[in-house]
Structure 1
Amino acid sequence: MPSSSVTRTEPANVSEVQTTSQTQRTLQVEADGGSRGNPGVAGYGALVRDPETGQILATDAQPLGRASNNVAEYSGLIAGLTMARQIDPEARVHALMDSKLVVEQMSGRWKIKHEDMRRLAAQARSIIPAGQVTYEWIPREKNKDADQLSNEAMDAGAAGTQWDAGASKVPVSAPGEGAQKAPAAEKATEPSSGSSSSAGSATHTGRLHHVEIWVEDLAQARRTLGWLFEELGYVLSGEWSEGASYQGAGEYLVIERGPDVSAGAHDRLRPGLNHLAFRAGTRADVDRLAQAAQAVGFTLLFAEQHPFAGGRNHYAAYLEAPNGFEVELVADPA
């Protein structure tokens, strides 16, 4: 977080300069989602496959709380595209789904009328450049692995637990590039939720699982932080008397006001968590969100340095919620 008197310079983004290999790899994403009740207990499943060998390189599945079937389908696609990008950001991706709606909307042949679907589609399109992704509808019987994963996620949601990658009936057969093999002593421990692994095989490390934010005024936090999370593409996936959860493409965010929360507003200047930073799209997207956020109660921090409070090459908006919690909205490199 920048101070009012010192401008922080962000490190150069070395990923902006990349070389493209002469032979572009192809990855196959298979995704599915379901809702028992529509809306009801929901979950998604996704995998990345090497189309040449048929080997599964990565898997992911997550319960979504109470959500619609369409939200679950889109969440599966987002998870699949995210895994493909992690394996090889330069690869061509062919996405297979048994949801005619998602395939036709993502292919641009059908209009997206529902606001929630528009946000999810925009999130999916932001993961991999459009020219690298193609979509194909397949019947459900040909999407059995992703269907199995989504059902495992829904089973976990119904039981109030998280999906167990190690117990999945759809194991990873060949870990994707960048995956690290778990040490033998750790094989018996619970696998991290959302990791792409079978028992004792490779897992993705360093992936955020969830963030839980304790607040004094839940209703106010939902009107501000909850609003912003949904604007950024997170989907309301659960709500109860003391909190609400928002599902992303793997990680999720929780706002909670429980009996153990101490009185008083959050102080971002005290030791502990200072702020959360989110990728927010283009500079125009950052500007739009910053303006809209102020209309619902956020305060723009470091206004005299905005939008370069983080340095002349770092376009971002720093916002403080009414409860004192800070978020940063970062624009993609120009």
Structure 2
Amino acid sequence: MVVEADGGSRGNPGHAGYGALVRDPETGRILVEKAAYIGKASNNVAEYSGLVSGLELAREINPQASVHVKMDSKLVVEQMSGRWQIKHADMRTLAAKARKVLDPRQVSYEWIPRERNKDADRLSNEAMDAGMAGVEWKPRVAAVQPAEPDAPVEEAPRPAGRLHHLEVWTQDLAAAEASLGWLLERLGFPRRDSWKDGVSYGSDEFYLVLESGPDVAAGAHERRRPGVNHLAFRAGARADVDLLARRAASHGWSLMFTDRHPFAGGPEHYAAYLENAEGFEVELVAD
């Protein structure tokens, strides 16, 4: 299995949190993910905490599996690989804890650049956001329990008419990734694939595509013309909606209908309506 982990601290030391996930190496699918706020701590302590959590998640799925850890912390990777000394007492304690989760002979480590560690980074930021807002982080991906050996696999019938994928055309792919792509990842749609003029987010069950290129007609997007007006997503509890709407302001989104927020859709409908620079509208609906 592949473990990806990250941690962060706003202040270093400051409000800290970590994120960890286990990925199927064959399909790239996330099997389980976890994030947690750990109070005031340093970046390095948060990153080590993410590593410990990721190894524990892998052990829960299969304690005999070989685990390949990917992190963007050169310090953690080099120290856990035995090439660098661990001088800080708190990190020595966490490193020792990590080595006890699984037999070190089962675990290998690889440093990856931050842009390839987006899912774990997303989780650690969600943890810090939730902790600073005083709310509990909630997972969006459920663990896949290992089946009993030789147990028959039963698939539930798939009804016709379900959405397969949704494609959004954009004049500026980079800007769309920075705003809409950022939001999709935080709503539980991991980056899936990319090519010269496009990128997709989601899974085999359902995914969204952002695409540009020469086939996109000139002119600005106008949601009030005939066609699709906006996309609406379930975004968790009311506190989750509020938190995501606040963070979106730093990623190219503006709050719409401010005079009626958060009940612009009616007195019983708690939601945030957001618009990015290209004029795309997204609605975040509270459960």
If the length of structure 1 is used for normalisation, what is the TM-score?
0.43
- Percent same amino acid at aligned positions? 68
Offset, 1:178: 6.9
What does residue 42 of structure 1 align with? 16
Query: CA, structure 1 residues 54+176, in 2 after alignment: closer, same or farther (shift >3 Å)?
Result: farther
Question: Greater RCO between the two (CA within 8 Å, min separation 6)?
Answer: 1
Query: CA, structure 1 residues 178+46, in 2 after alignment: closer, same or farther (shift >3 Å)?
Result: farther
Unaligned runs of 5+ in 2: 149-187, 189-287
2:72 matched to 1:103? no
What does residue 121 of structure 1 align with? 95
2:93 matched to 1:91? no
What does residue 151 of structure 1 align with? 125
1:53 corresponds, among 4, 14, 27, to 27
Query: CA, structure 1 residues 81+62, in 2 after alignment: closer, same or farther (shift >3 Å)?
Result: same
CA distance in 2, matches of 1:29, 1:111: 23
What does residue 38 of structure 2 align with? 64
What does residue 136 of structure 1 align with? 110
Offset, 1:176: 3.8
Pairs aligned (count): 149
Query: CA, structure 1 residues 165+178, in 2 after alignment: closer, same or farther (shift >3 Å)?
Result: farther
Aligned residue identity for 1:177: P
If the length of structure 2 is used for normalisation, what is the TM-score?
0.50
Aligned residue identity for 2:146: E
RMSD: 1.6
CA distance in 2, matches of 1:51, 1:89: 16
CA distance in 1, matches of 2:34, 2:133: 18
Secondary structure of 1:65's partner? strand
CA distance in 2, matches of 1:176, 1:129: 22
Query: CA, structure 1 residues 76+104, in 2 after alignment: closer, same or farther (shift >3 Å)?
Result: same
Secondary structure of 2:37's partner? strand
CA distance in 2, matches of 1:33, 1:163: 15
Structure 1 moving runs of 4+ over 6 Å: none
2:146 matched to 1:177? yes
Aligned residue identity for 1:140: R
Offset, 1:56: 0.7
Aligned residue identity for 1:150: S
CA distance in 1, matches of 2:147, 2:132: 33
Offset, 1:175: 1.6
Contact 1:33 1:72 in 2 (8 A): yes
Secondary structure of 2:12's partner? coil
What does residue 137 of structure 2 align with? 163
